[in-house]
Structure 1
Amino acid sequence: MKDKLMNNLGLKVLSVVLAAILWIVITNVDDPVGSKDFDNVTVQIVNEDVITKLDKVYDIVQGETIDFTVEARRSVRDDLKASDFKVTADFTKLSDVYAVPIEITCPKYGDAVVVTGGKDQRMIVSLEELVNETFKVNINQKGEVAEGNFVGPTTANPNIITVSGPKSRIERISEVVVDVDVTGASDSFHSVGQPRVFDENGKEMDVSYIDFNENYVAINVDIYKTKEINLQISTGNPAEGYVMTGIEYEPKRIVVAGKEEDIRRIRYLPVKYNISNATEDISEEIDLQEELPEGIIIVGEDKTAVINIKIEKMNTKDITIWPGDIDFKNKSTSYSLYINTTGPMQVTVMGPEKELNDITRATLKPFIDLADFKNGSYTEHINFDDLMVHSQVTISPEVSFDLALLD
């Protein structure tokens, strides 16, 4: 009886062993173990304050992303995603050569997933001094406002920003910029933007390892109305003995902008240019913005006018005329005219040289207007018609004549 029981027990043990073997065989056939690769998985950094407490910043030289291989049964493997893994570099384990071991775990599946390739990788970092630098916030306008409008003053709040980061990167920063889109704008508005940094070559820099004391900047944009107006330049007179013979300036019209209530009031821009002591030609640029009333600005980059003024010295010229050259205008047919003056008379003319060259006895056209004269004897200064623009008679001779009523 005892022998029979022992024989049955042995059979039972054998059955269990055979069943286990059979289960393993079936499992390996239906749910086999296999490998799966994961590439460019981002390594998460923990305890990075270990570095910041040293007033240092780090830059990842190697190991920002890693590749690794795992083994798991097909039922697990088929569902595995990169996000199922926790890939970390703990900076408390930073070595003297600035290497940090990278740990790979799979919290979701635990021991059902085994890392077989890439499990001994390191993150290599470099340490650098942490510095802070302040920069003016520049506003970069993008787009075009609606027709008839102009972007007036723009202000940033804050207008100065502190940038922190590795010394080598901060030293490369030339400008901090915030963009504002004005496309189609016809009224003033507010906007919010994130700062961007550029180097001295105008190339935008990566801000991954740069911190701002303000991550957002508020922008206020004033939209002005525009208007085209005339430019009017007045000069006065040059130094004594000189005359202004010509003035040219450009532009003749300018486009200005301002708040609607201000722009309505301006009709033209008067500019007074003083030439009171001028004795020679003038060629100069005038800053038109300085001439405009407060709140009005010039549209465009060129805010000047070019003025060219011709200044000439006044010379004198003596011209001899005869009584017969005089035109006695408006003489009544009821009177006879007797000229008592005989011989030549001298006329002195003052003007710029070029004009004086063109003034002769033939062009002087001397005259006396007799419209209001009655019977009698007269001595009158001679008048002259059609002198040049800048010339004048300074010495005019007198002529004596009689008007006698006809019988």
Structure 2
Amino acid sequence: MSKKPLKSFSTSLFNGIRWIRNLPRAFFTVNLSHNTGKKLFSLLLAILFWVYVMDQVDPEISKVFENVPIQLINLQELDQNNLKIMNQHDYFVNVEVSGRRNNVINLNSSSIYLWADMRGVKKGTNTISINKTINSEAVMINTIFPSDIVLQVDQIVSLPKPVKVVLNGEYATSIYQETMHVSPDEIKVTGPENIVNTVAYLGGTINISNLTSDMTKDISLVPYNYDGEIVNGVTLDNNYSNVSLKLGKNKTVELKAIVEGEPMEGYQVVAYKTIPESVLIQGDVDKINAINVISPEKIILKGDENASYIIEKDLTLPEGIKRATDDGPIQVEIEIEALQTKEFTFAAKDLPIVNLQENFVTNLAESEQMVTVKVRGIESIIKTLSKSDIHLYLNFSNVDKPGAYKLKVIVSDQDSFNNIVVDPVYIDVDIVDQSESSSNATNGSSSNPTASGNKGTTDTN
């Protein structure tokens, strides 16, 4: 008695499901022109029955979840082994699940947990299987595609790389770089081995435009490859280097020889000069700016020199200063000539008179006095010297009344000669005031016909 209703229900359920399957076909073949009411009623019952079956029977279905994330676990294993995943990013796969309809429909991708274990990963290409679990007892994971992920793993290394400083611009005129010190000049670069190996140097720049003094500056560094391109994906132990620039300056300065002592008696040093007359030096900027003249080693005459000669001397330079080019010792040319004496005689009456008052006359026209001039100098000058090169005169500027005077014979160009001797030094002259008596003035004019001419002399040397 108890089994019959159950069998009857099962049979009815089976028949109902079969009828539902045939429902679409029956719908298109039904003839609505006969028994329309019954047919519509049957259709309604069929739909209600289908809803009931789907809700109560709950058939099994499948579903694909796209872009389900994969978690990488035990990443600390990579750090401990100095490994790094190259171009690491988020990883996603598609997951197909199956189960009862209601369970599958109510499921979302957050209920699916996928992970890849990094333990055992080595340098190179690694294929890692994807592990899976799902937060549902009624739904199972059928397929994961792809079923694994491929990781490129590289060894982390630290290698020293040189620091390279690039100078932008130009130094100021005559300024040059004497030294450049970079500290540190090598810095360790850390990263995947393949990337670190591409780093050629660590570059930084300094602007030296119009720089005229020493400079110390910290510069930031960037890793570059052998083509001069920036390398990414590495770290530096120190991102800065200290650069110290010590500058020098070029300057052309006059060379001036120093000669002490005297040559052999009867000879004289006429001149001396250096060959070359100037020299290009270089060194510390402040020291160079303070130098205008430099000298070779001092030359001391021994007292036996009687001819011109050339001697080589090393250049004496302050500490920190040097010649820009190594041209050897400096030559000093010393000109030495013999001393000679030449004598000239002048008549006192022929000496020019200057600054004589108009009413005064002299007795020089009647004078028999002679003046001897001895000139001593170097041979090259004395041998061409003539009497016309000697200019003597008498200056009456201090004569303010008649009388007898001794006037000094003056050589107008005495500084032109090394040694000149005048004998006698003084000339006796009588002065008469011609305005005191007409007879004296007449006698003075007739007895001294040259006086009036001498009074007009204007040579004031």
Instruction: Decide which structure has greater helix share.
Output: 2
Rg bigger for which structure? 2
- In which range does the TM-score fall when normalised by the shorter chain? 0.3 to 0.5
Q: Whose strand proportion is higher, 1 or 2? A: 1
TM (norm. structure 1) is: 0.45
TM-score for both structures, normalised by structure 2: 0.42
